[in-house]
């Protein structure tokens, strides 16, 4: 791909050659592809194309009819001159920036240091959680059990490959609300170890936690209108779960569901009674 800095050096070398007609043609051709002395990018021809900046990896030039327009990739992405697609901005781990080390000022937040990209958890001891950021909106992702997030590749890898220090397993296996799986193995009523123990949410009757393989916590929920019953380890009617009897009393959607269910039950009962009366008359 075109490298403005490299071609600029070639122009200087060509200028020292003897001024033959051939030499002047070479000089003119090289200068047409290089930066002008005032720092403005010059398009090599009138074709539509995009060219990288020679110092800033997320900056590029869009040439159309010989006119160059300086542009920036979305914050967090960098320009890939090798990519033949129209949109050449990509994740940093997919692009070799070489000497183009400068970047635009970040415009991120606590979970998204830049508006786009994959970023490690802000707590350095939490190595198995990372965030996928799209225009500043973050989605939390947890690596499969035993793997750590590697910012250089944007993937989950074995801890030895990630090479991260200060990884605390206790903190790494903790949800945002602070829940972590108990260290002691959980046993069933028959005394057998439970592979994926389940725990009730302390404040939300509809929610509960599942500890995958006993160590990796996941928050899950019952269907609307039901509550988690820790005794039966299943979702149940709220009236069957101590302390959750009135959990949905102010929920209009659940009230509408109950009304619809009652109406359907009454309709079914009425239909059954009509059939019974009809048979009796016969």
Ranked by mean pLDDT, the top range of 6-20, 183-197, 238-252 is 238-252
CATH 2.40.50.140 fits 117-172, yes or no: no
- Pairing verdict, β 117-120 and 216-221: unpaired
Nearest C-alpha neighbor of 111 from the set 91, 139, 92: 139
237's tokens: 């009617």
Report which DSSP code applies to 138.
E
Name the CA dihedral angle for 109, 98, 154, 86, rounded to a multiple of 10 degrees.
80
- pLDDT tens figures, 155-190: 998 888 888 888 875 555 778 888 988 877 676 666
Give residue 91's Cα distance to chain centre: 12
Report which DSSP code applies to 168.
-
Q: What is the pLDDT of residue 121?
A: 92
Contact 75, 116 (CB under 8 A): yes
Q: What is the pLDDT of residue 223?
A: 94
Confidence of residue 114 (pLDDT cuts 50, 70, 90): very high
CATH architecture of 4-94: Beta Complex (2.170)
Confidence of residue 232 (pLDDT cuts 50, 70, 90): very high
**How far is 84 from 73, CA to CA, in rounded Å?**
16
Interhelix angle 4-15/21-33, nearest 10 degrees: 160
User: To which residue do tokens 């046993």 refer?
Assistant: 187
Contact 79, 60 (CB under 8 A): yes
Q: For the beta carbon of residue 99, count every other beta carbon within 10 angstroms.
A: 10
Nearest C-alpha neighbor of 227 from the set 246, 252, 251: 246
pLDDT at 192 over 60: yes
pLDDT at 123 over 60: yes
Q: What is the pLDDT of residue 236?
A: 96
Contact 203, 177 (CB under 8 A): no
Report which DSSP code applies to 104.
P
pLDDT over 90, % of the chain: 34
Nearest C-alpha neighbor of 250 from the set 238, 240, 232: 238
240 exposure class (CB count in 10 Å sphere: 0-12, 13-18, 19+):
middle
Domains 4-94 and 117-172 share a fold: yes
Q: What is the pLDDT of residue 186?
A: 72
- pLDDT tens figures, 26-65: 333 333 333 333 358 889 888 888 989 989 999 999 899 9
Q: What is the pLDDT of residue 45?
A: 87
Question: What average pLDDT does the chain have?
Answer: 79
pLDDT, average across residues 112-133? 91
202's tokens: 């302390």
Look up the pTM and report it: 0.47
Q: What is the pLDDT of residue 207?
A: 96
- pLDDT tens figures, 253-271: 887 877 777 777 777 777 7
- pLDDT tens figures, 67-81: 999 999 999 999 998
2's tokens: 């075109």
**How far is 236 from 208, CA to CA, in rounded Å?**
12
Confidence of residue 2 (pLDDT cuts 50, 70, 90): very low
Confidence of residue 280 (pLDDT cuts 50, 70, 90): low
Q: What is the pLDDT of residue 113?
A: 92
The strands making up 59-64's β-sheet, listed across from edge to edge, are 49-52, 59-64, 67-72
Angle at 89 between CA 85 and CA 92, to 5 degrees: 125
Contact 181, 215 (CB under 8 A): yes
Percent helix, strand and coil across the chain, each to the nearest 5: 25, 25, 50
Give 143 or 23, the one with higher predicted confidence: 143
What are the residue boundaries of the structural domains of the chain, listed by start? 4-94, 117-172
């Amino acid at each position: 791909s075109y490298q403005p800095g490299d071609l600029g050096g070639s122009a200087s070398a060509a200028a020292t050659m003897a001024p033959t007609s051939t030499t002047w043609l070479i000089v003119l051709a090289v200068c047409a592809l290089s930066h002008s002395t005032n720092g403005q990018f010059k398009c090599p021809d009138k074709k539509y194309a995009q060219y990288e900046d020679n110092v800033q990896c997320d900056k590029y030039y869009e040439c159309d009819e010989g006119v160059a327009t300086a542009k920036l990739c979305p914050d967090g992405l960098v320009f890939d001159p090798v990519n033949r697609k129209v949109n050449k901005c990509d994740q940093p781990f997919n692009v070799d920036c070489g000497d183009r080390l400068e970047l635009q000022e970040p415009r991120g937040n606590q979970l998204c240091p830049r508006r786009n990209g994959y970023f490690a958890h802000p707590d350095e001891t939490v190595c198995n959680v990372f965030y996928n950021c799209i225009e500043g909106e973050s989605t939390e992702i947890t690596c499969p059990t035993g793997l750590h997030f590697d910012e250089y590749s944007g993937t989950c890898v074995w801890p030895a490959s990630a090479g991260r220090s200060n990884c605390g397993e206790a903190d790494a296996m903790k949800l945002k609300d602070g829940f972590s799986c108990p260290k002691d193995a959980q046993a069933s009523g028959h005394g057998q170890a439970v592979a994926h123990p389940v725990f009730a949410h302390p404040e939300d009757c509809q929610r509960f936690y599942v500890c995958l393989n006993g160590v990796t916590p996941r928050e899950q929920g019952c269907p609307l209108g039901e509550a988690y019953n820790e005794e039966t380890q299943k979702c149940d009617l709220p009236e069957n779960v101590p302390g959750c009897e009135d959990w949905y009393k102010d929920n209009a959607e659940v009230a509408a569901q109950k009304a619809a269910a009652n109406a359907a039950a009454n309709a079914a009962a009425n239909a059954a009674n009509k059939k019974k009366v009809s048979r009796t008359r016969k």
